[in-house]
């Protein structure tokens, strides 16, 4: 299929996402939720169960709808024995469904359905499947032809360990296959919609002949800022419009933007403007989003993942709740709570709404509401499903697209420095790093902020300091980490505007003033607007204290130095995190729920330690390149690698387990860029390997191990609905990563994109 047809298909799929979201608004009960079967005698207000079984609150929901009544023989322990049977219900469906848990099939334990025909004859159908144990499994039974009524019978004659059974009220529902198809359709159409609305406006509206920095700002800002403005409108109208009306308004705003993008794309012949390398970089980012979205739709995570079994699970062994911080803004907007309202601040405690950047949440508001999402009034902890009614899956997809924009931004950063071939090679290396993919999956906006930093550097290098300052400000409105890198941008700005004190002062002043015009109002709002008196870290002030902490405690000189050393070693020394007793035994290197296995703790390496974050193959090539950079790019190496790393260790060294996940995102990008610049200037050595078509394929195994080893090795995954889609999601994830590696390898054989053949531009 030609690229034009693929792009048109993506746009049409995005339109289908709007239609499905609109359908969800108009017919909110479609597909119909599971419903308990009605009683055969028509009575109401009468217990549905006869016998001593009781509901068992220990059980996870698994495939069973949460609102159904249940009965269990686990009454005070496994030793209880007894028998229970339900009332007779109408067998008015060809397939009868009932939830089963415990250990039916063990001696003395069983669950069966009994069907009664018009003559009163009873046919028993015993459960003969595997023991569901502590989770619910839906048992589907075909109704006998003449049956008019059905009941459930549970028997427990065993006092032995694991000698108990449980069953639910029989119910009717859509077949699981139909529910799975509906969920998959919502995921993939919403994914297409997010890509079209977030990236499409900037791709098709950027001025012809614009510089790399200006193109980066159009790409990163046009769609997201338009959606954020829509989010502000929806939030502001919340007190006057009911939820349904706001959903339709959001769908209308999204539909108008979707139509504008399509009209502009048609005028351009469904071709992304720009050189071939730029189009490859955008496709690489889209494939990374697809790989992450399919990984997120897989039902199982690493053992001990935070919020496991819920829609807000964070896919990592972590105590970080940041993955759902931006969703709090979506919830506040959906329910009309002001940013300073008590309900809003309770979500952010011990911080406030103004402690984080507002843009990631505002961008997600219209997409969540416009696709039929109904955010809950409490924390998003409904039972996990690939696409939930509360809108958290939509929110995730939006954050994935925002974060993956760092890949095209890296391309545009390198384009004026090294040419299209090397720029695409660098963007591809970043896309396939384990850390790069993980931090797109973990829905915090640090990659989105880093993308704006890349745009700011490109503008500073092009001697456009005022525009660079506004880019810094927009990055700050995603995440405050950009402020840790602004001093180094200012130094580079001074170098690019010299010689002459007046020119240097003018350039740095423009950069500083433009940044302050965006940053200071948000900081002042956080400091001056009212907040709850018990909130200790209102606004941005709480982040300054990190300089004075050691392992979350007030530091002494000894503890300050020890945590900073541990942070350095755990960041830059490959296996120090696991081999150092103080690090390996640290309480944060484990699940928040229970002690974690060695294999589970191994996962920390990929998002704390630089060698594993880069991937061991790329780390080796980067080390070789940076060794040469000491001779050829010493100023850049010191300014964008050594000095920022030192500042980050001093600042984030209060967290002893490593630097990368905290604010190391720009550092990883800087190291990839420096390696590419060295390779672009020298043909032998690292250049040959970084330009080799096999290099993308060498990155894939490390990324796959990061993604799937802790998942497939999880000994006790939570039971969730639609887990039978896991095979499809794993296959699609492998296909997306494989296509990404294949495309990048193929591009290196293209004479117009081969890094070693493309001419290097003067900069």
H/E/C letters for each residue in 462-480?
Answer: CCCHHHHHHHHHHHHCCCH
Quick one: which H or E segment has residue 560?
helix 557-572
pLDDT higher than 80, residue 704? yes
Q: From CA 618, how far away is CA 620, in angstroms rounded?
A: 5
End-to-end Cα separation, the chain, in angstroms: 38
pLDDT higher than 90, residue 738? yes
Convert the pLDDT of each residue in 288-333 to its tens digit: 999 999 999 998 888 888 888 888 988 887 777 888 899 999 999 9
List, as one string, the DSSP characters of 625-687.
HHHHHHHHSHHHHIIIIIHHHHHHHHHHTTSTT-SHHHH-HHHHHHHHHHHHHHHHH-SSTHH
Q: Would residue 417 count as lying in a domain?
A: no
pLDDT higher than 90, residue 158? yes
pLDDT higher than 70, residue 739? yes
Q: From CA 311, how far away is CA 391, in angstroms rounded?
A: 9
More reliable by pLDDT, 67 or 204: 204
pLDDT higher than 80, residue 28? no
pLDDT higher than 50, residue 345? yes
Mean pLDDT of 420-433: 95
Q: Is the preceding omega at residue 442 within 30 degrees of 0, hence cis?
A: no
Mean pLDDT of 45-74: 85
Give the CATH number, domain containing residue 138: 2.60.120.940
Question: How many C-alpha atoms does 736 have within 13 Å on its Cβ side?
Answer: 24
Residues 65 and 34 sit within 8 Å (Cβ to Cβ)? yes
Q: Supply the pLDDT for residue 713.
A: 86
Mean pLDDT of 558-565: 95
Residue 230 structure tokens: 């829509």
pLDDT higher than 60, residue 555? yes
Quick one: which H or E segment has residue 115?
strand 109-117
pLDDT higher than 90, residue 721? no
Q: Would residue 554 count as lying in a domain?
A: no
Least confident of 233-237, 362-366, 684-688: 684-688
Convert the pLDDT of each residue in 205-249 to its tens digit: 988 889 999 999 999 999 999 999 999 999 999 988 887 788 889
Residue 89, helix vs strand vs coil? strand
Confidence class for position 536, pLDDT limits 50, 70, 90: confident
Q: From CA 137, how far away is CA 60, in angstroms rounded?
A: 10
Least confident of 339-343, 461-465, 533-537, 609-613: 533-537
More reliable by pLDDT, 180 or 343: 343
Q: Supply the pLDDT for residue 412.
A: 97
pLDDT higher than 70, residue 82? yes
Convert the pLDDT of each residue in 590-614 to its tens digit: 888 888 888 888 888 998 999 999 9
Q: Would residue 136 count as lying in a domain?
A: yes
Q: Would residue 255 count as lying in a domain?
A: no
Q: Supply the pLDDT for residue 753.
A: 84
Q: Would residue 94 count as lying in a domain?
A: yes
Number of structural domains the chain divides into: 1
Taking the model in full, what pTM does it have? 0.90
Convert the pLDDT of each residue in 115-157 to its tens digit: 999 999 999 999 998 888 888 888 989 999 899 999 999 999 9
Least confident of 50-54, 511-515, 700-704, 755-759: 755-759
Q: Supply the pLDDT for residue 762.
A: 43
- Nearest to residue 369, comparing CAs of 479, 246, 217, 489? 246
What whole-number percentage of the chain has pLDDT above 70? Answer: 96
What contacts 754, CB < 8 A, 6 or more positions away? 421, 691, 747, 748
Mean pLDDT of 381-402: 92
Residues 10 and 198 sit within 8 Å (Cβ to Cβ)? no
Q: CA of 142: how far to CAs of 50, 145, 213, in Å?
A: 24, 9, 63
Residue 663 structure tokens: 């604010």
pLDDT higher than 70, residue 760? no
pLDDT higher than 90, residue 523? yes
List, as one string, the DSSP characters of 271-310.
--SS-HHHHHHHHHHHHHHHHHHHHHTSS---TT-TTTTB
Beta strands in 118-208 (DSSP E): 122-126, 133-142, 147-156, 165-168, 171-172
Rg (CA), the chain: 28
Q: From CA 15, how far away is CA 260, in angstroms rounded?
A: 12
Query: Hey, which residues does 726 pair with through a beta bridge?
Result: none
Q: Would residue 106 count as lying in a domain?
A: yes
Confidence class for position 684, pLDDT limits 50, 70, 90: low
Domain that holds residue 134: 35-173
Q: Would residue 68 count as lying in a domain?
A: yes
Q: Would residue 698 count as lying in a domain?
A: no
């Amino acid at each position: 299929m030609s690229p034009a047809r693929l792009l048109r298909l993506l746009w049409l799929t995005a339109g289908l996402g709007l239609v499905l979201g609109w359908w969800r608004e108009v017919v909110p009960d479609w597909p119909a939720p599971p419903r308990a079967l009605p009683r055969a005698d028509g009575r109401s207000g009468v217990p549905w169960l006869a016998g001593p079984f009781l509901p068992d609150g220990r059980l996870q929901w698994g495939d069973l709808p949460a609102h159904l009544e249940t009965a269990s023989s686990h009454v005070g322990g496994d030793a209880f024995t007894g028998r229970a049977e339900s009332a007779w219900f109408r067998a008015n469906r060809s397939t009868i469904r009932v939830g089963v848990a415990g250990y039916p099939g063990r001696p003395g334990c069983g669950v069966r359905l009994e069907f009664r025909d018009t003559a009163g004859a009873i046919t028993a159908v015993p459960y003969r499947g595997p023991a569901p144990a502590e989770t619910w499994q839906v048992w589907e039974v075909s109704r006998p032809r003449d049956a008019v009524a059905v009941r459930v019978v549970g028997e427990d004659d065993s006092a032995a360990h694991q000698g108990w059974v449980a069953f639910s009220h029989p119910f009717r529902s859509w077949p699981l296959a139909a529910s799975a198809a509906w969920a998959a359709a919502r995921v993939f159409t919403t994914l297409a919609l997010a890509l079209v609305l977030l990236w499409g406006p900037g791709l098709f509206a950027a001025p012809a002949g614009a510089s790399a920095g200006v193109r980066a700002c159009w790409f990163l800002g046009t769609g997201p800022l338009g959606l954020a403005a829509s989010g502000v409108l929806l939030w502001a109208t919340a007190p006057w419009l009911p939820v349904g009306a706001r959903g339709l308004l959001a769908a209308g705003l999204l539909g108008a933007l979707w139509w504008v993008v399509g009209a502009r794309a048609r005028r351009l012949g469904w071709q992304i403007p720009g050189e071939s390398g730029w189009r490859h970089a955008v496709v690489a980012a889209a494939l990374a989003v697809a790989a992450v979205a399919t990984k997120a739709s897989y039902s199982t995570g690493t053992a001990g993942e935070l919020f496991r079994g819920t829609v807000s699970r964070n896919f990592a062994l972590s105590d970080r709740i940041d993955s759902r911080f931006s969703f709090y803004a979506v919830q506040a907007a959906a329910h009309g709570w002001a940013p300073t309202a008590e309900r809003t601040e309770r979500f952010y405690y011990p911080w406030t709404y103004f402690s984080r950047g507002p843009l990631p949440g505002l961008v997600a508001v219209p997409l969540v509401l416009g696709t039929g999402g109904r955010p809950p009034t409490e924390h998003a902890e409904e039972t996990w499903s690939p696409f939930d009614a509360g809108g958290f899956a939509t929110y995730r997809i939006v954050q994935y697209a925002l974060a993956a924009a760092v890949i095209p931004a890296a391309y545009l950063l390198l384009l004026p420095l090294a040419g299209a071939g090397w720029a695409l090679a660098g963007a591809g290396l970043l896309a396939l790093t384990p850390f790069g993919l993980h931090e797109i999956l973990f829905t915090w906006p640090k990659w989105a902020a880093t993308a704006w930093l890349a745009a700011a550097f490109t503008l500073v290098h092009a001697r456009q300091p005022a525009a660079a300052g506004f880019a810094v400000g927009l990055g700050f409105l995603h995440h405050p980490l950009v402020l840790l890198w602004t001093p180094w941008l200012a130094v580079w700005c001074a170098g690019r505007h010299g010689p002459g004190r007046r020119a240097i002062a003018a350039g740095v002043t423009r950069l500083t003033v433009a940044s302050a015009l965006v940053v200071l109002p948000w900081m002042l709002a956080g400091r001056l607007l009212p907040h709850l008196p018990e909130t200790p870290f209102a606004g941005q002030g709480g982040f300054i204290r990190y300089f004075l902490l050691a392992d979350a405690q007030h530091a002494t000189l000894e503890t300050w130095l020890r945590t900073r050393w541990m942070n350095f070693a755990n960041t830059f020394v490959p296996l120090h995190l696991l081999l150092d007793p103080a690090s390996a035994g640290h309480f944060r290197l484990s699940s928040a729920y229970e002690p974690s296995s060695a294999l589970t703790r191994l996962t920390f390496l990929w998002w704390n330690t630089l060698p594993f974050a880069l991937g061991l193959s790329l780390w080796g090539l980067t080390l070789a390149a940076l060794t040469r950079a000491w001779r050829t790019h010493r100023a850049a190496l010191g300014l964008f690698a050594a000095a920022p790393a030192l500042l980050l260790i001093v600042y984030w060294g209060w967290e002893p387990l490593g630097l990368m996940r905290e604010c190391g995102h720009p550092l990883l990008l800087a190291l990839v860029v420096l390696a590419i610049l060295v390779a672009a200037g020298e043909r032998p050595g690292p250049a040959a390997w970084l330009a080799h078509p096999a290099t993308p394929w060498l990155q894939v195994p490390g990324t796959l191990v990061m993604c799937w080893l802790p998942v497939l090795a999880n000994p006790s995954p939570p039971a969730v609905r639609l887990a039978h889609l896991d095979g499809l999601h794993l296959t699609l994830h492998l296909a997306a990563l494989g296509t990404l590696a294949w495309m990048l390898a193929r591009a290196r054989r293209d004479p117009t994109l081969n890094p070693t053949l493309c001419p290097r531009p003067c900069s």
